[in-house]
Amino acid sequence: MAEHSTASSNEYQANLETFYYDNGIVKLFAMATVVWGIAAFLYGVYVAFAIFMPQLNFGSEFLTFGRIRPIHTNAAIFAFVGNGIFMGVYYSLQRLCKTRMFSDMLGKLHFWGWQLIIASAAITFHAGITTGKEYAELEWPIDILIAIVWIIFGLNMFMTILKRRERHLYVAIWFYIASWVTITVLHVVNSMELPYTWLHSYSVYAGVQDALVQWWYGHNAVAFFLTTPYLGLMYYFLPKAANRPVYSYKLSIIHFWSLLFIYIWAGPHHLLYTSLPDWAQSLGTVFSIMLIAPSWGGMLNGLLTLRGAWDKVREDPILKFMVVAVTAYGMATLEGPMLAVKSINALSHYTDWTIAHVHVGVLGWNGFLTFGVLYWLIPKLWNTKLYSKKLANAHFWIGTLGILTYVIPMYIAGVTQGLMWKQFTPEGVLQYPNFLETVTQILPMYMIRATGGTIYLVGACLMVYNLVKTAKQGSFVKNEKDQATPFPFQYIKETGERQHRWLERKPMAMLFVATIVIAIGGAVEIIPMILIKSNVPTIASVKPYTPLELYGRDMYIREGCYTCHSQMVRPFRSETERYREYSKVGEFVYDHPFQWGSKRTGPDLHREGGKYNNSWHYWHMNNPRDISPGSIMPAFPWLLTKEMDIQSVSAKIAAMMTLGVPYPVGYDKVAPQDLKTQAKLIATQLVAEGVTDVKESAEIIALIAYLQRLGTDIKAK
Amino acid sequence: MFKDILKSVNGYDNWSIISMLIFFLFFVGLIIYVWKLDKNFSNYMSSLPLENEENSK
């Protein structure tokens, strides 16, 4: 008996291999996470103030709200959380696979490529170079760069998995694999755009189809960028930090597959009551509600991992951060499906309720989990103890206070404004017909929110100090030693082995099955819309934009007007009273990209055409407060002086023709002339209305032309 | 107007029913599988992230 055991342990020793984990790459991503995290919060605080103090852009086009908000959202998602994902993956994957990453070189390429993407995003957004599709605003050259870097990451990840010494793939790794696959698909499908200059392009989809693809993307970007990779991190780092195994492995299997399966179907819930077909809306709602089950399964699995360790939670700031993160995940995933219920959505949509919802997710779930992981990881990487547990605890409380101070006023603002929009007097007319009244009402909430954001930022700065001090007192372990026996190449199938275990051993099969699963969901949603052209009834009176209007439309996208204005009147009496005729699918067939928007900080603009005369818009754009006292819309004075780039017009029209917009053959050649003719007409009208110093070639002319065209195609009946 | 759209999608109502059905079957399959999962194996898997003496097998 004794002899036998020595023999086998000798054999075991003989096979034992020594190898080193690469901590260098983890350190790089950790530092990027911290740096971009602070940047994302700073931009957030800045827009939070700028929204009620429009003069904060100092009259500079580069700082205008519509351009800064996308920087904030993209920085939070792709720079902060993105680097957070990579930090966690590069650390945990090596340990779970008992091997060093496949290639240090690929890791470096991945890292610097990703930072390059972030830097170019910041520059192009400030410059107003954007596709105008939320969370996919980056222009085509950067989209290509993203694809390349993403593939480098994928390659490094899969090769690492293939050379692993641990036969079985832990649940965290499935989440990584599924996230990678899905993001690849989403990015490719939603970024289909036709370039017309080296920095500009039009979405190949138009109107309702573009909206559907965009929100299928937008929803799943939340799911597969902000959620599933972070669930992978949760399944690794929470057990690590608590030093106890995950509560139920079985539950994690259900969590994984049902999330993967359901998430992708639920995208249309962003478009309830819009011109999207009913069946797609209903499907979105049903699947959104079903999402609660796996999400809560996951949350409970996380929380129950700490069963019997709650005394530890009270002590340890890392666990505290993680507990709140997981709870925020549960809250957000309960609220999300609720917001997908049509009657609730009717109230919540376009209001700050949505903003509150996403910040529970990003500040609570992503932010706090990242903080927890950082506090755990940095001492490990530098082989020391956390510099100050007290400071970390302070950060925890400050951060929590920040979240509450942010989220609560936003809920109040959202519900208040939503109700005001819908409020009728007993006589049956809108009680607040002036949109601005519903804005000034909630300004105090905006101020409190900005304070909340600032508090959160202060907490994060404490963390930076604490982490830097921690690193300073330790010494960085660039290569960490470990030992493991490789598993035999030939696998002897155990009796009674079942399907899933087979999947766990075969990463490529896992990749394949995961792809199929999300492809089914995607197909169910997308195919009927894309393939069946007759889905969008054409309206004979809807005509393509004139070159001048198209130019104005591109300015609307450039200045980010869509961040505050929707172009989608829903079929409610409260909306048709306020904005007139509700929007029809057929009105958007030439909109590459669609501009339905998702937030009404200002009123809907779909029926703006003909509402005011040209000079009203002229002065309003110059300074909204001259026309609408108390308005919080930023001023756009540069539009009055900036010259139109008439050279680009032919290329714009030609691109539209390629996309199937029915301009007459050869129209791209005459378009610049047509543009000038129409501009002259508008300039003459402006002069007649008493505006002096009008330049025929000023960009404002194009924007006015576009605003005056909006929604007029079917009004003239 | 919605009626027109609905009519133009061939069998749109089957479309949603089929998708529910696919999901339902998938889910039932999943539950059955997990139900029957070997206990030792799931214990082994859940302790993977923790530092364990016994290396991979």
- Residue A54 and residue A154 in one domain: yes
- Residue A133 and residue A253 in one domain: yes
Confidence class of residue A98 from pLDDT cuts 50, 70 and 90?
A: very high
CA A274 – CA A277 distance, rounded (Å): 8
- Residue A399 and residue A252 in one domain: yes
In chain A, which residues have their Cβ closer than 8 Å to the Cβ of B42? 248-250
- Residue A562 and residue A520 in one domain: no
pLDDT, tens only, A394-408: 999 999 999 999 999
Give CA separation, B34 vs A497, A524, A673, in Å.
Answer: 12, 26, 69
Residue-level pLDDT at A238: 95
B1 touches chain A (CB under 8 A): yes
Residue-level pLDDT at A195: 94
Output b/e per residue, A658-679; b: 16+ Cβ within 10 A: ebebebeeebbeebbeebbebb
Structural domains of chain A, count:
2
- Residue A81 and residue A140 in one domain: yes
DSSP3 helix / strand / coil % (chain B, rounded to 5): 70, 0, 30
Residue-level pLDDT at A152: 97
Confidence class of residue A268 from pLDDT cuts 50, 70 and 90?
A: low
Determine if residue A135 is left, alpha or beta; phi over 0 gives left, psi from -120 to 50 gives alpha, anything else beta.
Answer: left
Total length of chain B: 57
> Which residue is associated with the tokens 């404490």?
A462
Q: What distance in Å separates residue A1's CA from the closest CA in chain B?
A: 20
Assess contact for A317 and A396: CB atoms under 8 A. Answer: yes
Give CA separation, A496 vs A248, A493, B36, B37, in Å.
Answer: 21, 9, 10, 10
Judged against a pLDDT cut of 70, whether residue A582 lies above it is answered with yes
Residue A519 domain boundaries: 21-476+499-524
Residue-level pLDDT at B45: 86
CA A10 – CA B49 distance, rounded (Å): 25
State the count of interchain CB pairs (< 8 A) between A and B: 125
Judged against a pLDDT cut of 60, whether residue A35 lies above it is answered with yes
Judged against a pLDDT cut of 60, whether residue A441 lies above it is answered with yes
Assess contact for A398 and A455: CB atoms under 8 A. Answer: yes
Q: Which of A165, A265, A535 sits opposite B56 (nearest CB)?
A: A165
Residue A142 included in any domain: yes
Domain boundaries, chain B: 2-48
Neighbours of B49 (CB within 10 A): 22
In chain B, which residues have their Cβ closer than 8 Å to the Cβ of A171? 45
Confidence class of residue A577 from pLDDT cuts 50, 70 and 90?
A: very high
Most confident of A182-186, A218-222, A421-425, A509-513: A421-425
Residue-level pLDDT at A599: 95
Judged against a pLDDT cut of 60, whether residue A384 lies above it is answered with yes
CA A232 – CA A251 distance, rounded (Å): 14
Torsion angle of C-alpha atoms A47, A50, A54, A58, degrees rounded to 10: -90
For chain B, the farthest-separated pair of C-alpha atoms sits apart, in whole angstroms, at 67
Assess contact for A372 and A319: CB atoms under 8 A. Answer: yes
Assess contact for A89 and A160: CB atoms under 8 A. Answer: no
Neighbours of A380 (CB within 10 A): 15
Find residue A643's DSSP bridge partners.
A698
- Tell if the CB–CB gap between A172 and B49 is shorter than 8 Å: yes
- Tell if the CB–CB gap between A239 and B49 is shorter than 8 Å: yes
CA B43 – CA B30 distance, rounded (Å): 19
Three-state secondary-structure class, residue A79 = helix
- Residue A335 and residue A201 in one domain: yes
Q: Give the gyration radius of chain A's Cα atoms.
A: 27
- Residue A507 and residue A575 in one domain: no
- Residue A421 and residue A369 in one domain: yes
Helix (H) or strand (E) holding A484: strand A479-484
- Residue A310 and residue A424 in one domain: yes
CA A67 – CA A629 distance, rounded (Å): 24
Helix (H) or strand (E) holding A213: helix A207-221
- Residue A313 and residue A227 in one domain: yes
CA A468 – CA A462 distance, rounded (Å): 10
Residue A715 included in any domain: no
Residue-level pLDDT at A366: 97
* pTM assigned to the model: 0.91
pLDDT, tens only, A110-130: 999 999 999 999 999 999 999
- Tell if the CB–CB gap between A257 and B50 is shorter than 8 Å: no
pLDDT, tens only, A444-453: 999 999 999 9
Residue-level pLDDT at A342: 81
What is the number of alpha carbons within 13 Å of residue A148 lying toward its C-beta?
A: 13
Residue A531 included in any domain: no
Confidence class of residue A7 from pLDDT cuts 50, 70 and 90?
A: very low
Judged against a pLDDT cut of 50, whether residue A383 lies above it is answered with yes
CA A196 – CA A191 distance, rounded (Å): 15
Backbone angles phi, psi at A707, to 5 degrees: -60, -35
Q: pLDDT exceeding 70 applies to what percent of chain A? A: 91
Residue A491 included in any domain: no
Residue A449 included in any domain: yes
CA A703 – CA A605 distance, rounded (Å): 13
- Residue A586 and residue A467 in one domain: no
pLDDT, tens only, A560-573: 999 999 999 998 99
Residue-level pLDDT at A495: 54
Choose the final residue of a domain: A490, A524, A558: A524
Residue-level pLDDT at A276: 63
Q: Which amino acid is at A83?
A: N
Residues 6+ apart with CB under 8 A from A560: A64, A65, A66, A67, A69, A70, A128, A130, A132
Residue-level pLDDT at A408: 97
In chain A, which residues have their Cβ closer than 8 Å to the Cβ of B22? 520, 524
Residue-level pLDDT at A321: 97
pLDDT, tens only, A272-309: 666 566 766 777 778 788 888 889 999 999 999 988 88
**What is the DSSP annotation of A25-78?**
HHHHHHHHHHHHHHHHHHHHHHHHHHTT-GGGGTT-GGG-HHHHHHHHHHIIII
Residue-level pLDDT at A493: 56
| Cis previous bond, A593, omega within 30 | yes
Instruction: Find residues 27-56 of chain B whose CB sits inside 8 Å of chain A.
Output: 27, 30-31, 33-34, 36-38, 41-50, 55-56
pLDDT, tens only, A599-626: 999 999 999 999 999 999 999 999 999 9
- Tell if the CB–CB gap between A277 and B5 is shorter than 8 Å: yes
- Residue A359 and residue A313 in one domain: yes
Assess contact for A715 and A610: CB atoms under 8 A. Answer: yes
pLDDT, tens only, A304-327: 998 888 888 998 999 999 999 999
B17 touches chain A (CB under 8 A): no
Q: What is the mean pLDDT of chain A?
A: 90
- Tell if the CB–CB gap between A250 and B37 is shorter than 8 Å: yes
pLDDT, tens only, B14-49: 666 776 777 788 888 888 888 888 888 888 888 888
Assess contact for A209 and A530: CB atoms under 8 A. Answer: yes
**Residue A385 sits in a domain of what CATH number?**
1.20.210.10
Neighbours of A542 (CB within 10 A): 15
Q: Which of A240, A250, A520 sits opposite B34 (nearest CB)?
A: A250
CA A480 – CA A24 distance, rounded (Å): 10
pLDDT, tens only, A479-536: 999 988 887 655 555 555 555 556 666 777 777 877 887 777 777 666 656 554 555 6
